Amino acid sequence: MIVGIEISYFIISLFYNIKYEAFNHLQDYRSISVIVLIVGTIMLLYHLQKRNAENALKAKEADLIKINQLKTEAELQALQSKINPHFLYNALNAITSLIHEDPDKAEDMTIKLSKLFRYSINSQHENFCSLQEEIDILNTYLAIEKVRFGDRINFDIDTDNTLSHMQFPRFLLQPLVENALKHGLKDTAENGLLAVKVIKEDNQAHIFVRDNGSPFPTELIAGYGLQSTFDKLTLLYPNSHEIEMSNEPIKQIKITIPLSA
């Protein structure tokens, strides 16, 4: 304020040939200070109001992010794979038929079924596990299905050993394998093959589920198992995963996810 007044008087003195007296304008200081006080107060109130509005907006954004996170968690929990009732029905029938023929095998199958259910129940609040844990539970599931299919289908599980401790989407493989058994290989009388392969390439994991059963239809309508898997991947890896389904040269589902999960 003072510098502005002095500069103004100095310029006027140059134009109108008036003697300039530095810092001798007390009355102007007093009058201008009132204007400065009013303008400064208005500016202060404006900035305070702006800051409060920004803080309120940030708080709402934080609440929205939290709501979205809770929504995502709820959706993931809803999508956690549930044991298919048809699988349970078939497994229990197989156990019943084995009770008199092979009690030890029936007991072993019952234990495996219990382990599978326990894994399903305990996974409701966890979205990831190690790949090794996922493969262990898949082998438990396949051990039960082998009793049902016998020698009609051969199972082949092949994973990269360096990926054993990779953070892997929990209960991702079992619904894909179950879908292959239910739709692709259900009418296979002999020499059926179902293969699961997980490999590492660059900074990605490639997951293959292959079978030599009936090809995918031209217009595939995903059932609950496939659709829940696709939805889960969308929630866990938005815009950073790929799903490919093909019949040639081999029938397979290929899923690509980042390793930095």
Task: pLDDT tens for the chain, 261 residues: list them.
Answer: 788 888 888 888 888 887 877 777 777 777 788 888 888 899 999 999 999 999 888 888 887 777 776 666 666 666 565 566 767 777 888 888 888 888 888 888 898 888 888 877 766 567 888 999 999 989 988 988 888 788 889 999 999 988 989 999 888 898 889 888 888 887 788 889 999 999 998 889 999 999 998 888 777 666 656 777 888 888 888 889 999 989 988 899 999 999 864
The amino acid at 57: L
Report DSSP letters for 32-65, one per residue: HHHHHHHHHHHHHHHHHHHHHHHHHHHHHHHHHH
- Neighbouring residues of 130: CB distance < 8 A, sequence distance ≥ 6: 164, 165, 166, 167, 168
In the chain, the DSSP E strands lie at: 128-130, 153-159, 167-169, 192-201, 204-211, 242-246, 252-258
51-84 residues labelled b (16+ CB within 10 A) or e (exposed): eeeeeeeeeeeeeeeeeeeeeeeeebeebbbbbb
Count CA atoms within 13 Å of residue 24 on its CB side.
Answer: 5
**pLDDT at position 20:** 79
Across-strand partners of 154?
193
Cβ proximity of 122 and 155 under 8 Å: no
Q: In this structure, what token pair is assigned to residue 116?
A: 């599978």
**pLDDT at position 182:** 82
Backbone φ and ψ of 171, nearest 5°: 55, 40
Q: In this structure, what token pair is assigned to residue 167?
A: 């953070």
